[in-house]
Amino acid sequence: MRTIKHPGAKLDPRVISLPCRAEKMRLILRSGVSVLAAVEEALRDRGYESAVVHIKGGAFLPLVYVMPALSDDDTHAAWYSDTHSPTGRAEIEELVLTFGRRDGEPFLHCHGIWRHADGFRGAGHLMPHDAQFAEPVEADVWAISGAILDQLEDSETNFKLFTPVDLRSANPNSGQRAVLCRVRPNEEINAAIERTAAEHGIERASLHGIGSLIGCDFVDGQHMASIASELFIRNGTLETLEGKPVSKLDIAIVDIDGNIFEGEIARGANNVCVTFELLIVEG
């Protein structure tokens, strides 16, 4: 199994998870402000401070993003490319973002696929303070109550990472039973999901989120070799078969050269690189 060495000592627990509630809704995210402001406003109007958001369609103007890259020093195991700011309108193919807070202020983490005005199909990590929607965009949202993703210092990776923490909510009983998670590096992602769901008594669920893997193997034989990557879950499920939890993750993932790989990943074969932010929703 592929592993990666981070600058800090290994921390426990390897999966940080908190029970919460998740309410499904469809929201309109406005244009003319940063993507961060658009998401924050839409959720604030409904009384929520954390969510996982899935968007298909729409456009950015401007689009500003980075891609995964190797680190050029020993302070991080992986890093980011230079900033990409393509000219003109960029059509959104699909993206997922996690929303919470950083230093007490709203913040989000977004991975997606988009097409530049010149036709180039790109993918990576959106810069949420700089990118804007070209016009209002419809978004499928799992709004979270009872917990929030808070970007905290992580000594193992030397990054600030979205981490589940308790939050008293204005909507304490809204939605479905769920678990908000962060999976740490070098954990096999399917095993981590299945173990965490079992610990919380969840036998059947949908899976939502973003993260990174150390290379990636797919059920159809595709292989991504890059140790640094950015991914989002296109479709994720958990079910119980013969008394055992079985998770399936259909993802899109981009490597350090901008190559995009898509499909269902091989169960039991893929370790987390830096982090995996995950919402498990029962049902």
**Does pTM top 0.75 for this prediction?**
yes
Residue type, 221: G
Q: Would you place residue 172 in the very low, low, confident or very high pLDDT band (cuts 50, 70, 90)?
A: confident
Residues 214-231 have pLDDT tens digits of 999 999 999 999 999 999
Does 170 have pLDDT greater than 80?
no
For range 189-213, the mean pLDDT: 99
Region at 242 (left for phi over 0; alpha for psi -120 to 50; beta for the rest): left
Alpha helices (H) along 67-214: 189-199
Residues 93-104 have pLDDT tens digits of 999 999 999 999
Instruction: Select the CATH number that applies to the domain covering 174-282 from these four: 3.30.1330.80, 3.30.420.10, 3.30.499.10, 3.30.70.1400.
Output: 3.30.1330.80
- Within 10 angstroms of residue 181's Cβ, the number of other Cβ atoms is 25
SS3 44: helix
User: Rounded CA gap, 196 and 215, in Å?
Assistant: 23
The domain made up of 22-143 is a member of CATH 3.40.50.150? no
Domains 22-143 and 174-282 share a fold: yes
Paired strand residues for 211: 231, 276
Does 173 have pLDDT greater than 80?
no
Question: What is the sign of the dihedral through the CA atoms of 157, 162, 164 and 167?
Answer: positive
**To 10 degrees, the CA torsion angle through 222, 224, 230, 231?**
20
* Domain extents in the chain: 22-143, 174-282
